[in-house]
Amino acid sequence: MSVNPKSKLVKEVLDLKKVGQAPTRNGYGEGLVEAGRKDKNVVVLCADLTESTRSEAFAKEFPERFVQMGVAEQNMASVASGMAAVGKIPFISSYAMFSPGRNWEQIRTTICYNERHVIIGGAHAGVSVGPDGATHQAIEDIAITRVLPNMTVIVPCDAVEAKKATVASVGLKGAVYLRFAREKTPVFTTDKTPFKVGRAEILWDSSGSPSLRSGRSRLDVAVIACGPLVHNALLAAADLEKKGIKVRVINNHTIKPMDEKTILKAAKDAGALVTVEEHQINGGMGSAVAEIITRNYPVPIEFVGVKNRFGESGEPTELIEHFGMSSKHIIEAARRAIKRK
C-alpha cells in the first residue's frame, strides 16, 4: 500500500496532538477475545500478569478456558505444549523478559522442537517500558526467538495491527512470538489497512517523481522498521521529504518469515537502507534484513536501535531519545546511508 505523503489523513497521523494513542498490548487483549469467540480450542495461560498483559478480558469472558499459572513461566510453556498436543491452541502471556526470556529453553525444547502450535505473547518489550529499568526491558527477545526453527516472529506497529496479528496467529503453524509494548503509542493503521503475516507493507513512498536530490533515482533511501517505531520512521520520512530526499517507509512487522521480495525491491530502488527497531541492533530485525541483503543485493545499511548495552530507568520518550531511536536519529542514519552510496 503506497501512501500519498501530502494527503490529509497522513498529516493527521503525523500530528502527535491529533493521532490516537494506545499500547500495542491492548490489541493483544482484544485479539484474544476475538480469537476465543471464533475458535473454542483457544485457551490462554498467564504467569500472574493478567492485567498487565491484557489477558484479563479473555479470563472474564472465557473463565473455563483461562489458566492462571502463577510466577512459573517455564511450567507455563511446558503445560501449553501439552495442551497443543491434544488439540488446544494455547496463548501464553507474560512480560517478554520472562517469556520468551526466562523460559527460552522450554519454548525451544517442548514447543519448537516438538512442532507445537503455541502463541507466545511477550508484553513490555523494549526500553519504553520506562521506569521499570533494565531488568524488565526486553531488548534481546527478537534475536532469541527468530533463531529458533518452527518459530514465527511478529512485531505489530500499533494496537490495531496487534489485534490483527493476534487473531491471525491462530491459523498459523508451529510456535508464534508476538511482541508488544507497554507505553501508549500512536495508532496510525485502521481495520482496513492491509495486514498479512509474512508480507511487509509500504506505508510511505515518495518515489512517484524523480529525486530532487539526485535528479535520477526514484528513491534516495528506504527505511525498514518494526513495532511502534514505525511511526517515528514516518515522522522522519516527512522531514526528509521536505528537504527533497525521496523516502520509502516499510512496516516490516513479520521478522520471520521476512518478506524478502519487498526488502530486496527497496534495496534495488533506493540503493541505501535504514533499519529501525526498539531492540539490540545485534541479532534483531536489522540483522535479518542484512542477511537478506548481503546474500542478494548488497547496499549500504545503517542500523537504528540499542547499541550493545542494557536499558535504563526513565520516561519512555526520554529513553527512546537517549538510546538514539527518535525520528531525529532516523534522519541522521538516512543521511549517512545515502552518503555511503
Catalytic residues, which ones? 73
On whether the CB atoms of residues 79 and 67 are closer than 8 A, the answer is yes
Closest CA relative to residue 27, chosen from 64, 53, 60, 65: 53
On whether the CB atoms of residues 81 and 111 are closer than 8 A, the answer is yes
- 43: CB partners within 8 A, 6+ apart: 65, 66, 67, 83, 88, 89, 90, 91
Joined together, the cell numbers standing for residue 125 give 518489550
Joined together, the cell numbers standing for residue 98 give 520472562
HSE at residue 162, side-chain half, CA atoms within 13 A, is: 31
Joined together, the cell numbers standing for residue 226 give 518494526
Q: How far is CA 198 from the centre of its chain?
A: 12
C-alpha distances (whole Å) from 99 to each of 58, 185, 229 are 19, 22, 22
- 154: CB partners within 8 A, 6+ apart: 165, 169, 176, 177, 178, 179, 197, 253, 254, 255
How many residues are present in the chain?
341
Q: What's 61's DSSP letter?
A: H
Spatial separation of the C-alpha atoms in residues 292 and 258, rounded to whole Å: 9
The SS3 of residue 249 is strand
- 255: CB partners within 8 A, 6+ apart: 142, 146, 153, 154, 155, 226, 284, 285, 288
Number of continuous H segments (helices) and E segments (strands) in the chain:
12, 14
